[in-house]
Amino acid sequence: MSYTKRDDGRKFDELRKIKAKVGVVKRADGSAMFQMGDTIAIASVYGPRELHPRFLQNPERGVLRCNYDMASFSVTERKKPGPSRRSTEISLVTEKALASVIDLDLFPNTVIDVFIEIIQANAGTRCAGISAAAMALAHAGIPMRDMVAAVSVGKVGDKIVLDLDKEEEDFEEGATDIPVAMTARKREITLLQLDGEVTKDELMEAIKMARKGCEEIYKIQVKTLKEIYKNG
Ligand code: UDP
């Protein structure tokens, strides 16, 4: 089925409006808010700190531990609070999306905890969470080899589109959702999931579009992080 126009008037390769801020959770060692359209993620980082229980410690390197949670009030139909299969999966892929840019060898026996809370959800929450977490890690002063930005791309009807909203994810003919995370300088893909169907050519087009989106997000992440130094 042909998809001719996005409901919110965006071009097919256009991101939703982004807002970002660091230092939103004072008690944390680093924190950030990242909003794409109506999806809002807050990430807070604690550590590196000694890992308990001690048998989980690795004397060679630190452990990155991510915890993704969607608040019960974040969606129209109240979500049952607490962990679920979905949140466990997202926590795990978030960890994998971020771990490769952190120099964990510098922090033996410790853990770096990243808590991601989705306070408002309108699709793309795992990507907003990853973009927020990468900013929070940088804000916490964790040495990072690269920055990570994430965005969802996919196929709605017959079109490849960037940054799907919930309406597009629920498109009547079915949509394909492809969350992508990418490192900024090396342009390495650290997350790629695919829910639906696409041809190989469509997937390549989608990844190209995601790369462009991630580059835009990266610029916002850096600009936001630099602002704290400007403002003291
Ligand atoms: N969603 C919901 N209730 C849930 C889980 C998800 O309403 O229990 C909505 C929410 O808007 C979310 C979207 O469905 O952003 C898509 O969820 P998905 O699992 O595809 O992950 P996401 O796109 O948020 O990374």
Does the C-beta of 63 come closer than 6 Å to ligand 1?
no
Residue 55 lies in a domain: yes
Rounded to an integer, the average pLDDT of 99-111 is 96
Residue 11 lies in a domain: no
Q: Where are the strands (E) in the chain, listed by range?
A: 18-22, 30-36, 39-50, 63-70, 110-120, 148-156, 159-162, 175-183, 189-192
Residue 3 lies in a domain: no
Rounded to an integer, the average pLDDT of 140-165 is 97
pLDDT at 44 over 90: yes
Residue 31 lies in a domain: yes
- Which residue type does 220 have? I
Alpha carbon nearest to ligand 1 atom 9, residue: 123
Please report which residue ranges of the chain form alpha helices under DSSP H: 85-99, 125-139, 166-169, 200-230
Report residue 142 as tokens. 């964790």
Does the C-beta of 86 come closer than 6 Å to ligand 1?
yes
Mutate to test the pocket of ligand 1, among 73, 151, 166, 178 (most ligand atoms within 8 A of CB): 166
Q: Provide the domain limits for residue 227.
A: 18-231
Secondary structure (H, E, C), 203-221: HHHHHHHHHHHHHHHHHHH
Q: Cα-flanking dihedrals φ and ψ of residue 189, to 5°? A: -80, 120
Rounded to an integer, the average pLDDT of 116-143 is 98
Residue with structure tokens 């952190």? 102
pLDDT, tens only, 155-195:
999 999 999 999 999 998 889 999 999 999 999 999 999 99
Residue 82 lies in a domain: yes
Using the mean position of ligand 1's atoms as its centre, give its distance from the Cα of residue 84 in Å.
12
Does the C-beta of 16 come closer than 6 Å to ligand 1?
no
Confidence of residue 232 (pLDDT cuts 50, 70, 90): low
CA distances from 211 to 22, 156, 182, 200, 221 (A): 24, 18, 7, 17, 15
Residue 83 lies in a domain: yes
pLDDT of 1 = 75
Q: What is the mean pLDDT of the chain?
A: 96
Residue 4 lies in a domain: no
Q: How many domains does the chain have?
A: 1
Residue 84 lies in a domain: yes
Instruction: Please report, for the domain that includes residue 215, its CATH number.
Output: 3.30.230.70
pLDDT at 231 over 70: no
CA distance 111 to 198: 39
